[in-house]
Amino acid sequence: MSSQVRGGTRWKRFAVVMVPSVIATAAVGVGLAQGALAASFSVSGQDFKVTADELHGYDFVQYGNVAAERGSDPKLPGGGHAVAVSGFSKATITNMCQSVATPNLPFGLGTVTMRLEAGGKGHDPVYAEGLYLDVSQLDADAKFKNIDIGVAAGSLPRTDKGTGIQPGTQANPNGFSQRAEEAVLTGVKQKAWATTAGTFNLSGLKLRLNKGTDTECYH
C-alpha cells in the first residue's frame, strides 16, 4: 500500500524504524496520531507487510529500482533489494494495515509486532499525494484506465504532485516501465521496503505493539 536509495531527496521525511527501544517506537506512534506522518514509512533492513481493501490512485507509474538498506551502498553485495516502484499523484486507501515483526529484541521482549491501521470502518479512507511504494511482492485484483505498457522509465510523465521517476532515486531511465491514467487495486496484499508520500492523512489511526507475530496484517 516508496526507497532508501533516496540520498539527497528534497522530500520531507519521517522514518518509523523498529529499534531495540520499544519506547522509541511508541513515541513515533504519538507523532502519527498528531498527523506528523507526512512522508515515509520504512524499517531498517526489513520489508513490512501491507494490506488494503482498495487502493484507488491517479497518474499511476511503475518502474524497477533498487531499495538500499539504511546506511548501506546498494552497489555493494547485500546492500540493496530489487523492487517495483509504484507511484501515484494522489490515492485513497480503504482499510489499510501495515505491520512489521522485529525479532530478538533485548530485555527478554523476544519478537514484537508493530501494527498500524487506518481508514477502516466508520472512517474516511487514507489519503495520500505524491505516493511512492517500493514493493517486492504484490497480490491484488487490478483495473487500469488508459494503460501504456513498456515505455522507457525516463519518459514517464511528471506532475506537480510528483509522478514519474522519484527525485533522488537511481532508477535506470531506459528501463522498462508502465503508466496509466487511473488504477484501482482491490484485495491488496503486499510486502514493501518503503512507502513515501508528500501528504499522508491517516483517518482513524490505530497503532499497537504486541508480542509474537499473531497480529501481522497477514501470514
pLDDT, tens digit (0-9, with 9 covering 90-100), for 115-153: 999 999 999 999 999 899 999 999 999 999 999 998 888
End-to-end CA distance of the chain: 16
% the chain with pLDDT above 70: 70
Domain ranges, ordered by start, for the chain: 22-211
The 10 Å CB-count burial string (b at 16+, else e) for 139-151 is: ebeeebeeeeeee
pLDDT attached to residue 78: 55
Residue whose entry in the numeric block shows the C-alpha cell 548501506: 72
Which H or E run contains 33?
A: helix 22-33
Beta strands in 18-109 (DSSP E): 40-42, 48-68, 80-94, 96-105
Q: Say what the pLDDT of residue 25 is.
A: 40
Q: Report the pLDDT value the prediction gives residue 33, as an integer from 0 to 100.
A: 42
The SS3 assignment for 152 reads strand
The dihedral region occupied by 105, where left means phi > 0, alpha psi between -120 and 50, and beta the remainder, is beta
pLDDT score at 57: 95
In the prediction, which pLDDT does 86 show? 92
Question: pTM for the whole thing?
Answer: 0.77
Which pLDDT score is estimated for 183? Answer: 95
Distance CA 106, CA 209 (A): 15
| pLDDT at position 194 | 86
- pLDDT beneath 70, residues of the chain: 1-45, 68-79, 158-163, 170
Q: What is the pLDDT of residue 137?
A: 95
